[in-house]
């Protein structure tokens, strides 16, 4: 972990502050995307010399590209404990595409039920709305998933519920869901489970095969750009038997073994579901980053990020005007390093911008593509929600509710957390002046 910092691209870049001082940039926005690692970039550059389209080429470069790209699928499968005989790994663009693909491939009638949750990223909610009747599992007072509500829904609609789709970890509160318990529940009531692993896979060891007979994960999706590889590669894993049935949503080159003027036969998996020339370099990059994560050890990553999370929460709690939206106590084990908060009297958009202007600290603010969850966490009434929706549609973003989010990567340090707390304290204790200095404008707005 100590050395990983110097292998993280662009992480010690200096940025210019409002007062013309240059400081090291602090990136606390890893839940959005993580910086790439130098060995991953090196691997991509090395691979580009062997760059060639895969599969039917007979040339040396094409053979090497094909082997490397296919091997990348196996490396991904092993990383998340997926049984290579049972499951297929399909490379797509990102988590969003993976979920949309599954929603297309999943056989659902209009009156079938999919159960998602209130705490989902929109990418694990909207694709299902147009496919089936979608029910949302509630959250408890502390923002954690209400597992009793989930079981009640499964019981009540037994036979109708075909899929439970749930995030592995929240991109708002960092809460980790007990995906194996949820898998057992889903299977007990005859449904399958899909886990959105976008925020979980980069931070915890995931084991799709489970630990008991019935707690395996049927489908898993995640994105390479949240785990130290570049944009453009996402993963969808699921049973071969499932993807062998039905037609892929995109058809064309690569997806077939034979076409006549009148018919066609699908290729084996995963080719059937990876239409056209795939992102070969992206697949190589993901395989490389997985090798590095394995070398570091996911347990070491967990330990380090847990330390950062405990520290920041302890420090945030010492500032009276700060409200944290994850309840942390003995359950610190149940969260990844994603912490959302607000400061009384400082709008979230202003606060996030001022952290950048005064401290060179990159955070994120707003509703993080999880509007229903934020509405609940902020206890907004249905009246307030419809008012907010109207405002957003009218482009009036000045007073919209939201949170500020800090999210850690494995290269972040306690010193960075201390610097963040120092700047935050400065802002909080000079609230009046800060509000005057940075009054709402186009930049800070």
Contacts with ligand PMP, residue ranges (CB under 6 A): 31, 94-96, 121, 123-124, 167, 171, 196, 198-199, 223, 369
Q: Are 218 and 209 in contact (CB under 8 A)?
A: no
Q: Are 221 and 87 in contact (CB under 8 A)?
A: no
Closest CA to 114 of 164, 186, 148, 151: 164
Give me the least distance between CB of 170 and ligand PMP, in Å please: 7
Strands 161-167, 113-117: pairing kind: parallel
Residues, the chain, total?
445
Give me the least distance between CB of 67 and ligand PMP, in Å please: 27
Strands 403-407, 338-343: pairing kind: antiparallel
Give me the least distance between CB of 281 and ligand PMP, in Å please: 17
Nearer to ligand PMP, 8 or 94 (CB): 94
Q: Are 234 and 94 in contact (CB under 8 A)?
A: yes
Long-range contacts, stretch 142-146, CB < 8 angstroms, 24+ apart = 142/327, 143/119, 143/170, 143/173, 143/175, 143/325, 143/326, 143/327, 143/373, 143/376, 143/377, 144/173, 144/175, 144/327, 144/334, 145/117, 145/119, 145/175, 145/177
Give me the least distance between CB of 257 and ligand PMP, in Å please: 30
Strands 113-117, 133-137: pairing kind: parallel
| Backbone conformation region of residue 254, classed left if phi is above 0, alpha if psi is from -120 to 50, else beta | left
Three-state DSSP string of 227-281: CCCCCCCEEEEEEHHHHHCCCCCCCCCCCEEEECCCCEEECCCCHHHCCCCCCHH
C-alpha–C-alpha distance, residues 281 and 273, integer Å: 18
Nearer to ligand PMP, 223 or 340 (CB): 223
Nearer to ligand PMP, 182 or 322 (CB): 182
Active-site choice (161, 229, 354, 369): 369
- Say whether 136 sits in a helix, a strand or coil: strand
Nearer to ligand PMP, 150 or 424 (CB): 150
Give me the least distance between CB of 174 and ligand PMP, in Å please: 11
Give me the least distance between CB of 127 and ligand PMP, in Å please: 11
The yes-or-no answer on residue 369 being catalytic is yes
Give me the least distance between CB of 122 and ligand PMP, in Å please: 8
Nearer to ligand PMP, 115 or 369 (CB): 369
Nearer to ligand PMP, 34 or 94 (CB): 94
Half-sphere exposure of 346 (CA within 13 A, CB side): 33
Q: 298 is written with which tokens? A: 């996911």
Give me the active site residues, please: 369
């Amino acid at each position: 972990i100590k050395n990983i910092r110097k292998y993280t691209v662009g992480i010690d870049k200096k940025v210019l502050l409002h007062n013309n001082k240059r400081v090291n940039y602090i990136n606390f926005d890893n839940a959005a995307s993580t910086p790439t690692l130098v060995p991953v970039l090196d691997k991509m550059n090395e691979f580009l010399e062997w760059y060639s389209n895969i599969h039917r080429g007979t040339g040396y470069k094409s053979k090497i590209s094909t082997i490397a790209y296919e091997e990348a699928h196996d490396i991904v499968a092993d990383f998340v404990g997926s049984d290579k005989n049972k499951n297929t790994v399909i490379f797509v663009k990102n988590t969003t595409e993976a979920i949309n693909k599954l929603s297309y491939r999943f056989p659902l009638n209009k009156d079938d039920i999919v159960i998602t949750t209130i705490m989902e990223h929109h990418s694990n909610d909207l694709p299902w709305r147009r496919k089936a009747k979608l029910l949302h599992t509630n959250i408890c007072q502390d923002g954690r998933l209400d597992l009793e509500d989930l079981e009640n829904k499964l019981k009540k609609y037994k036979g109708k519920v075909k899929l439970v789709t749930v995030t592995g970890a929240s991109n708002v509160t960092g809460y980790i869901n007990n995906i194996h318990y949820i898998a057992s529940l889903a299977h007990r009531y005859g449904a399958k489970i899909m886990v959105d692993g976008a925020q979980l896979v980069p931070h915890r060891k995931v084991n799709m095969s489970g630990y008991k007979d019935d707690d395996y994960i049927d489908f898993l999706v995640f994105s390479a750009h949240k785990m130290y590889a570049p944009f453009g590669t996402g993963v969808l894993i699921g049973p071969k038997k499932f993807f062998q049935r039905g037609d892929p949503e995109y058809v064309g080159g690569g997806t077939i073994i034979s076409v006549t003027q009148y018919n066609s036969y699908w290729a084996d998996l995963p080719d059937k579901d990876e239409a056209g020339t795939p992102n070969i370099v992206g697949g190589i990059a993901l395989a490389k980053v997985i090798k590095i994560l394995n070398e570091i050890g996911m347990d070491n990553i967990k330990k380090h990020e847990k330390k950062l999370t405990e520290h920041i929460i302890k420090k945030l709690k010492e500032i009276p005007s700060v409200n944290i939206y994850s309840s942390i106590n003995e359950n610190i084990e149940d969260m990844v390093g994603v912490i959302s908060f607000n400061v009384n009297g400082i709008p979230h958009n202003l606060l996030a911008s001022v952290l950048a202007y005064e401290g060179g600290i990159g955070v994120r603010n707003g509703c993080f593509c999880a509007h229903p969850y934020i509405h609940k966490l902020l206890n907004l009434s249905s009246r307030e929600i419809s008012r907010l929706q109207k405002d957003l549609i009218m482009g009036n973003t000045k007073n919209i509710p939201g949170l500020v989010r800090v999210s850690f990567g494995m290269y972040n340090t306690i010193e960075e957390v201390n610097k963040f707390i120092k700047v935050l304290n400065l802002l909080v204790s000079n609230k009046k002046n800060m509000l005057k200095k940075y009054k709402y404008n186009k930049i800070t707005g």
